[in-house]
Amino acid sequence: MRIGIISDIHGNFTALEAVLHALGTVDQLWCLGDLVGYGGQPNECVECIRERTTHVLRGNHDLAALGLLTTEEFNATAAAAAQWTGEQLTQENRAFLEFLPEMKVEMQRYTLAHGTPRDPIWEYLLNGMQAIENLHLIDTPMCFVGHSHVPLYFNEKGQGGIAGDGKTVSHQTLKFERIIANPGSVGQPRDQNPLAAYLVLDTFPMKLTWHRVAYDIAEAQGHILRAGLPAVLANRLAYGK
């Protein structure tokens, strides 16, 4: 089985289309949350995800746009984007986001969480110690998380790090190591690389491969600026941070 894993689309439909095109045919598509927030095309993203994915989680920005999470911990631009997104979402798309889980286990093998198993909404997993602690909390051999917008992986010894374009974790490794992995962000990468990120999980033989794909950043920026959202949200797409 070939499974596409994506996360943190953030209303960037231009990037989402480029990722889905590059990904090609998959047996399943999993989305680890934050479909909206920051970008100028939230409804297009939710509708596409509704149609294409087999498993979807909700993230902190989805909850904030629905008014189900306070934006006190958000910076001013994120809060403004959450407010605007909430006003744009159609009734159907709101209802879809509202009933998504924050964490789930698939095929008894894969734990999916937006943040981490320990805190599916707020924890940013960025180091090996956090990976060790979180892998202790779950039983599955693999765990996929989003939220940090940084493509990476760690094993249960805390070894690993950032996963660049083309990085693979092989069948041999996955046979012996439990892994926690982040596909990176489709719509707002933060690893100094502006290209949209996604991850492919092949299940036989088991293999993980990280990918990056170019998209029309100027188009995505245009949607943000025309929506009247803060310009910094458009500018950062060019730098990947």
Single residue of 5, 6, 8, 234 touching Zn ion by CB under 5 A: 8
Site for Zn ion in 105-144 (CB under 5 A): none
What are the residues whose beta carbons fall under 8 Å from the beta carbon of 214, sequence distance 6 or more? Answer: 18, 195, 196
Residue 204 beta carbon to Zn ion: minimum distance, rounded to whole angstroms? 31
Which residue number, 8 or 44, has a Cβ lying nearer to Zn ion? 8
Cα(196)–Cα(187) distance, integer angstroms: 6
| Count of positions on this chain that bind Zn ion (CB under 5 A) | 2
Which residue number, 8 or 17, has a Cβ lying nearer to Zn ion? 8
Residue 122: name the closest of 59, 179, 70, 38 by CA: 59
What are the residues whose beta carbons fall under 8 Å from the beta carbon of 153, sequence distance 6 or more? Answer: 160, 161, 163, 169, 179, 180, 181, 182, 208
Show the binding pattern over residues 22-61: x = contacts Zn ion (CB under 5 A), - = does not: ------------x---------------------------
Can you give the length of the chain in residues? 241
Which residue number, 128 or 187, has a Cβ lying nearer to Zn ion? 187
Q: Using an 8 Å Cβ cutoff, are 49 and 24 in contact?
A: no
Residue 207 beta carbon to Zn ion: minimum distance, rounded to whole angstroms? 26
Which residue number, 82 or 174, has a Cβ lying nearer to Zn ion? 82
Cα(210)–Cα(197) distance, integer angstroms: 7
Does the protein bind Zn ion through residue 102 (CB under 5 A)?
Answer: no
Q: Where does this chain bind Zn ion (CB under 5 A)?
A: 8, 34
